[in-house]
Amino acid sequence: MESERINVAKFNINLYHINTLVIGSGVASLNAAMNLHAMGQKDILIATSEWGGGTSNNSGSDKQTYYKLSLAGDKPDSIPEMTKDLFDGKCMHGDIALCEAQGSVRAFISLVNLGIPFPHDKFGAFTGYKTDHDPGARATSAGPYTSRMMFDKLADEVKRRKIKILDKHPVVALLTDIAGSKVMGALAINMKEKNPVEAFVLINATNIILGTGGPAGIYEASAYPASQTGSTGMAFKAGATGQNLTESQFGIASVKLRWNLSGSYQQVIPRYYSAENNGRDKKEFLNDFFPDYNSLTKAIFLKGYQWPFDPRKISGFGSSLIDLLVFKEIEEKGRNVFIDFRRNPSWQSDDSFLTEKLAPEVRKYLEKSNALESTPVERLKAMNMPAFKLFREHGIDLSAEPLQVAVCVQHNNGGLTGNIWWESDLKHLFPVGEVNGSHGVYRPGGSALNSGQVGSFRAAQYITRKYNSPNLKTNEFLSEIGKSLKEELSLAEQWLLSGISGENTRIITGIRKRMSRAGNIIRSRNETEKALNEAFSLLNRIKDSIGASSVKELADCYLMVDHCLTHFMYLKAINTYIREGGRSRGSYIITEKPEDALPGKSSPYLYNELCNYTREIEKNILEVKFSKGNAITNIVKVREIPEQNLWFEKIWKEYLEDNFADG
């Protein structure tokens, strides 16, 4: 890696020349860097706003899931079956599903060889269990901190390989060539620098791997770690196309510690109640909507492995009715909702654990788990002690206090488009991990981790074989990216001259409230159109509404512009889907009147019919591109699963001729 000092406008800038810039320090980014290095490309630079600050290192669940091909047991599994199951989740390209299935074993064994303690028996069988949207039992887990363990091991490997890291360097802009057809570099801010004039870092890169995660900063109630913000907006601004932006996942999570309350946290059947803001008027509100103890406890139990809100699981007193009722208590009634592990759900004033009234599948599960204790917290300790200890490690004792909860955004199945090598339509840009929108509508739980590992490996593979050309010289580079660079620096100069940062907090709060109002689990055409118009108006004035007087505030200004564009693009996709006749699916309800979607005595759960994937907007993929100050939508047909010719001599010949990386 070469570096030099240059002056552009009023700014003194550090310029780095590198083959591949990796943005972000999550497990997809780190896996890409590790594999690039292992494949022979040593000219790598990682730039991250906070080392280990993303979802990978700061999230989990009762036993965080990694989804892979089944590798044990007498039930047969195969690449074609896994491909089909991923593809059947709807709005996922068949060739991407094939790549994720085909690469799952290689990615999983790589993690095993790095030392991730995925459980196996004495014969070496990596057994599995069933997760949400999983027709088999492909899931595995190393415990509540599976992705954190992945981060630790991959980070150790990156450091062992002495890959250069720029920590506290958020990338604020992607820079393209004059034609706008490919990325050529990036602009970052050195947060360790005190003087804004000296803080910019310019990176001349042949390739950019973007691993900054989902749009974590645009929602109010969020299970994303507070340290993660997301930076999809800068990719939209540079010209990359988004897809499936409608498909966020929501579920019940704790508020004090942002953590998904799935799996064991629900299977031990805790008590739900709501209260006024002052803590008074405690009420077990679920009792008003369930007919008996059996149906109530079964719904809570099923919430464990049916964690994401799903409109298909509302009727018949299904598990997602709980999400809807929690949402109603908070959004409609303005009350706080809690899960209490100290007490069982009361039924007719009796909070005894009535094992004889449990549904057979519930009782059988608890019996097999040796968890028929008298209280939820004792059942949790018996079933999954690490899940109990997790909260205690963060200063929360589940045996002494209730957990405040909300229906929170947790993951986005959409993101940026990518081909089978995870390359965006903006050439030389490789979105990996959650920022890549490969996941379709109904992804099996844990498949995002598999996708991130497979995709980042394939991106590294393609770069080392196809994109190893040297960087442009400084003058040529500055000539190509000059227009976009000057635009970004002129904004910085404007913000620093204004010095006004009073509106910054109000604007980001408004973005989050708008998304939570119009892009949550209940969506209507009127609300999304109103929110979209508000977002478009903000987009056109935000650059003149914010200011900075420090390096931190300067970085915040770029982040606010990023969030503003991101939430505008997401609202455009959501509104287009509804306007074109899209119906309830994924993790949201489409309704004409939002209040009709909320359960009530007279109208249990009124909403438009469920999506059956017959309409063009439903059965195909909705793409969104930012162009000339507005969002352009396009409906793209889902690519079918490719038919493979696996004749060995043919594949061998293509491999030797290096033709396999084309396409």
Q: Which domains, ranges and CATH numbers included, belong to the chain?
A: 2-233+429-476 (3.50.50.60), 251-408 (no CATH), 499-619 (1.20.58.100)
C-alpha span between 572 and 579 (Å, rounded): 10
How many residues in the chain?
Answer: 663
d(CA 657, CA 653): 6
* pTM for this model (two decimals): 0.95
Residues 193 and 199: beta-carbon distance below 8 Å:
yes
**pLDDT the model gives residue 607:** 60
Burial environment of residue 52 by CB neighbours within 10 A (0 to 12, 13 to 18, 19 or more): middle
Residues 6+ apart with CB under 8 A from 40: 464
Rounded Cα–Cα distance for residues 304 and 317 (Å): 15
Greatest C-alpha distance within the chain:
78
Residue 415, strand partner residues: 243
- Alpha carbon of 256 to those of 270, 385, 398, 511, 515: distances in Å? 18, 20, 13, 21, 21
Give residue 605's pLDDT.
53
- Provide the pairing of β-strand 589-590 with 522-523: parallel
Q: Return d(Cα 342, Cα 322) in angstroms, integer.
A: 19
What was the pLDDT predicted at 596?
A: 67
pLDDT at residue 606 in the model = 54
| pLDDT tens sequence across 522-550 | 999 999 999 999 999 999 999 999 999 99
Q: What was the pLDDT predicted at 527?
A: 96
Low-confidence ranges of the chain (pLDDT < 50): 601-604
Which residues lie below 8 Å from residue 171, measured CB to CB, with a gap of 6+? 23, 47, 49, 186, 187, 188, 203, 231, 234
> How are beta strands 271-275 and 336-340 bridged, if at all?
antiparallel
pLDDT tens digits, 444-489: 989 999 999 999 999 999 999 999 988 899 999 999 999 999 999 9
> What was the pLDDT predicted at 593?
75
Q: What pLDDT digit, counting tens, does each position of 593-608 carry?
A: 776 676 654 444 556 6
Query: Distance (Å, rounded) from C-alpha 339 to C-alpha 312?
Result: 24
Give residue 246's Cα distance to chain centre.
Answer: 13
d(CA 360, CA 53): 43
Percent of the chain with pLDDT over 70: 97
Quick one: residue 31, left, alpha or beta (phi over 0 = left, psi -120 to 50 = alpha)?
alpha
Using an 8 Å Cβ cutoff, are 487 and 242 in contact?
A: no
Q: What is the 3-state secondary structure (H, E, C) of 571-599?
A: HHHHHHHHHCCCCEECCEEECCCHHHHCC
- 534 close to 488: Cβ distance less than 8 angstroms: no
Place of tokens 């506290």: 168
